[in-house]
Amino acid sequence: MADLHLVDINSTLEMAATRAGFGSGLKKAGELDVNVVAACADLTGSVKMDAFAAAFPDRFIEIGIGEQNLVTVGAGLALMGKIPFVSSYAAFSPGRNWEQIKTTICLNDVPVKIVGAHAGLYTGADGATHQMLEDIALMRVLPGMVVMAPCDSVEAEKMTLAMAKDSRPNYIRVAREATPIITTAETPFKIGKAYVFSEGKDVTIISTGTMTAPALEAAEGLYKDGIDAEVIHVPTIKPLDEATILKSVRKTGCVVTVEEAQVNGGLGGAIAELLGENYPVPMKRIGMQDHFGESGTPEELLEYFGLDAKHIRMAAHHVHEMKQ
């Protein structure tokens, strides 16, 4: 779509990790607002808070390996008018400290920004303990929590800057490995908005985070197969842009959801809930099917667990047939 200023998916795509986009966004947010502060649990370089920490040492708190402390110190800082970004690996935060997030951030209604790094299968070789696949589900059930997953490093930076201005508790998941850059500085981003990255009329593919690039790739393949797929990128899983999704599904009549997370409670769960109550249609959910991951390269894992463009294309064929 021309007005979205996307990169041509068929060109040679530059690569960068979404965590890097977060890191540059955080430093920019710190430059724009003196109240932006950051805290980390012994992973400063890894979660890309190092540039902020170097630029604003008085506004950076090193918590050590204590994720419960991380988010609750963040809650305290927010109570004093700060805008705290708190980060660790998603496996540990929000993996370990869910109750503290519920009680001291959501029930307290303070604008703490929880950044879950190394989320999803892209964590690769570290294995199942470090592959956070349940974070979307865990954060999505919390009243008041905004849940987001950027599609590339460019969007991750915009998302981080938007989070610094948002008065609600936010969760953002970012990945370790470099993934294709598919948006540009001109591509719009607004919290709570879904974007039609590719228009079509036969099937709706709804993707979030790093899976939007393979979703676009799958749409290219489907076009050759004679199926005109619409790809909706959902950077904000909660609150969900219901209008954009329902408009598309009413047009196409079938849906595939794609995420690098558990489909139960994840984006797939969210879309199934929306459509189940409003406009039930044939649907397939691509993502982790109630399984843990394991060690391997991201490519090996994505293929093995059926999260690549090939599987998205097959799923689209499947729901398209179910419709007829």
Partner 1 sequence: MGLFRCIIVSKMGQTYTLLELEEKANTIREDIIRMLERAGSGHSAGPLGLADIFTALYFAVLRHDPKKPDWEDRDILLLSNGHCVPVRYAAMAEAGYFPKAELLTLRKFGSRLQGHPERLRLPGLENTSGPLGSGLSQGCGIALGLRMNKQLHRHVYVTLGDGELDEGNVWEAAMLAPKYGLNNVTAIVDRNNIQIDGPTETVMPLEDLKKKWQSFGWHVLEIDGNDIDAVIDACAMAKAITEKPVCIIAYTIPGKGVDFMEYDFRWHGVPPNHEQAVKALHELRTLGGKIRGEHE
Q: Are 322 and 314 in contact (CB under 8 A)?
A: no
Under 8 Å between Cβ of 315 and 286: yes
Residues 6+ apart with CB under 8 A from 268: 257, 259, 285, 286, 287
C-beta of 81 vs 226, nearer to partner 1: 81
Between 69 and 244, name the residue whose CB sits nearer to partner 1: 69
What is the SS3 assignment for 150? Answer: coil
Q: Least CB distance from residue 178 to partner 1, whole Å?
A: 33
Min dist CB 96 to partner 1, Å, is: 10
Nearer to partner 1, 84 or 293 (CB): 84
Helices (H), the chain: 18-32, 50-55, 67-79, 98-100, 135-140, 153-165, 212-224, 242-252, 267-278, 298-304, 309-323
Q: In residues, how long is the chain?
A: 324
Spatial neighbors of 155 by CB under 8 A, at least 6 apart, are 18, 21, 183, 187, 189, 235
Query: Quick one: 144 or 188, whose CB is closer to partner 1?
Result: 144
292 backbone φψ class: left, alpha, beta (φ>0; ψ -120 to 50): beta
CB of 42 or CB of 166, closer to partner 1? 42
Please give the structure tokens belonging to residue 94: 């929000």
Nearest approach, Cβ of residue 177 and partner 1 (Å)? 30
108 vs 295, beta carbon nearer partner 1: 108
- The answer to whether residues 121 and 293 touch, using CB atoms and an 8 Å cutoff, is yes
* Binding footprint of partner 1 on the chain (CB under 8 A): 37, 58-59, 61, 63-64, 66, 68-69, 72-82, 84, 99-100, 103-104, 107-109
Neighbours of 181 (CB within 10 A): 19
Cα angle 197, 200, 201; round to 5: 145
Beta carbon of residue 222, minimum distance to partner 1 (angstroms, whole number): 48
In this complex, which beta carbon is closest to partner 1, that of residue 29 or of residue 288? 29
Report the nearest approach of partner 1 to the CB of residue 85 (Å). Answer: 13
Q: State the nearest-atom distance from the C-beta of 117 to partner 1, in Å.
A: 20
CB of 122 to partner 1, least distance (A): 29
Q: Does the bond joining 280 to the residue before it have cis omega, within 30 degrees of 0?
A: no
Nearer to partner 1 by C-beta: 78 or 181?
78
Least distance CB 75 / partner 1 (angstroms) = 5
